[in-house]
């Protein structure tokens, strides 16, 4: 026997989240193309970013951004930097990384539309714009499972905020031997794991020189099953398969 969770509401939510994230990536990309990423560091500790349009001892420093034009006297300016070149120098081209994430899996099933919790950790190696790793975690559906998966990410470009696409695939192992909830007429038996597939898109926001925060949204497919014994005049046993279709929303911290 197989049962599949309804996809209509999950698909609608996925469409909205993906459109929003892709619009955010497009706007960020357009801003990056038309602006020089300069930063004016004031002696007061304030940092103003934008396009540097004037820098001389008599006229002062003038910088343009979305809030308007800012003019400062040279005596108030500590330093001026090109953020884009600084960013490219600080980001490693290869090396070890660790990505720890917390998330929620949204969707509607037999038990309602309550989100499921997801905790994952990926350890891997960076090859330029490509990140590859092996991940392990904990997720809860009708019972707890431990997903073991391969993870690949491709970063579209290097910028202050970097968009990327991600794909993970693997297998989830059950952490509970038997499914709970048995009654007089139905007894639940052994639980089984299943295939996991999770494509996502996201944004990487730098924190300091090398670390970053990641925000992702995507679609997650998880197959699980369990044994069920019906106790009537003629008792019989069957294996019930459930295909979970969920929208994944995660926030993670990247160490590299």
Q: Among residues 190, 151, 186, which one has the least CA distance to residue 173?
A: 190
User: Both tokens of residue 149?
Assistant: 């998966």
More confident residue, 19 or 130: 130
Distance CA 228, CA 1 (A): 10
Distance CA 235, CA 41 (A): 77
Q: What share of the chain is helix, strand, coil (3-state, %, to 5)?
A: 15, 60, 25
Residues 216 and 124 in one domain: yes
The pTM for the full model equals 0.66
Domain containing 233: what range? Answer: 2-29+92-255
Report the mean per-residue pLDDT for the chain: 82
pLDDT of residue 181 exceeding 70, the answer is no
Residues 25 and 44 in one domain: no
Residues 48 and 24 in one domain: no
Q: What is the pLDDT of residue 172?
A: 97
Which residues on adjacent β-strands are paired with residue 139? 118, 145
User: What's CA 232's distance to the chain center, in Å?
Assistant: 47
Residues 18 and 127 in one domain: yes
Residues 77 and 100 in one domain: no
More confident residue, 101 or 235: 101
Residues 116 and 174 in one domain: yes
Structural domain ending residue among the three candidates 70, 89, 108: 89
Residues 220 and 243 in one domain: yes
Residues 120 and 233 in one domain: yes
Residues 124 and 223 in one domain: yes
Domain count, the chain: 2
Q: Cβ contacts of residue 51 below 8 Å, gap of 6+? A: 35, 36, 38, 63, 64, 65
Residues 72 and 99 in one domain: no
Residues 42 and 151 in one domain: no
Residues 137 and 213 in one domain: yes
Distance CA 98, CA 254 (A): 6
CATH code for the domain in which residue 245 is found: 2.40.160.20
pLDDT of residue 148 exceeding 80, the answer is yes
CATH code for the domain in which residue 60 is found: 2.30.30.100
- How far are the Cα atoms of 5, 142, 184, 237 from residue 176, in angstroms, in the given order? 21, 10, 21, 19
pLDDT of residue 214 exceeding 70, the answer is yes
- Say which range, 27-36, 177-186, 199-208, has the weakest mean pLDDT: 27-36
Q: What is the pLDDT of residue 86?
A: 46
User: Both tokens of residue 62?
Assistant: 């003038």
Q: Cβ contacts of residue 21 below 8 Å, gap of 6+? A: 201, 202, 203, 217
Structural domain ending residue among the three candidates 66, 89, 112: 89
pLDDT > 70 fraction of the chain, expressed in percent and rounded: 77
pLDDT in tens, 62-109: 888 888 888 888 888 888 887 665 444 445 678 999 999 999 999 876
């Amino acid at each position: 026997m197989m049962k599949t969770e309804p996809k209509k509401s999950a698909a609608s939510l996925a469409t909205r989240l993906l459109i929003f994230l892709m619009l955010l990536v497009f706007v960020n990309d357009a801003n990056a193309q038309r602006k020089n990423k300069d930063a004016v560091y004031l002696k007061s500790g304030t940092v103003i970013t934008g396009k540097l349009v004037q820098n001389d001892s008599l006229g002062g420093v003038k910088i343009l951004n979305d809030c308007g034009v800012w003019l400062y006297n040279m005596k108030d300016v500590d330093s001026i930097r090109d953020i884009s070149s600084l960013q490219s120098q600080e980001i490693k081209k290869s090396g070890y990384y660790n990505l720890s994430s917390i998330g929620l899996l949204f969707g509607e099933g037999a038990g309602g539309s309550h989100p499921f919790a997801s905790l994952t950790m990926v350890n891997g190696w960076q090859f330029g714009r490509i990140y590859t790793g092996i991940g392990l975690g904990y997720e809860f559906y009708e019972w707890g499972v431990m997903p073991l998966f391969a993870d690949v990410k491709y970063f579209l470009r290097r910028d202050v905020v970097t968009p990327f696409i991600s794909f993970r695939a693997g297998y989830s192992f059950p952490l509970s031997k038997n499914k709970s909830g048995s009654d007089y007429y139905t007894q639940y038996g052994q639980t089984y794991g299943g295939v996991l597939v999770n494509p996502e898109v996201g944004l990487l926001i730098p924190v300091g020189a090398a670390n970053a925060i990641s925000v992702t949204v995507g679609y997650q497919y998880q197959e699980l099953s369990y044994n069920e014994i019906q106790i009537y005049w003629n008792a019989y046993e069957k294996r019930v398969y459930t295909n979970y279709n969920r929208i994944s929303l995660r926030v993670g911290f990247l160490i590299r």
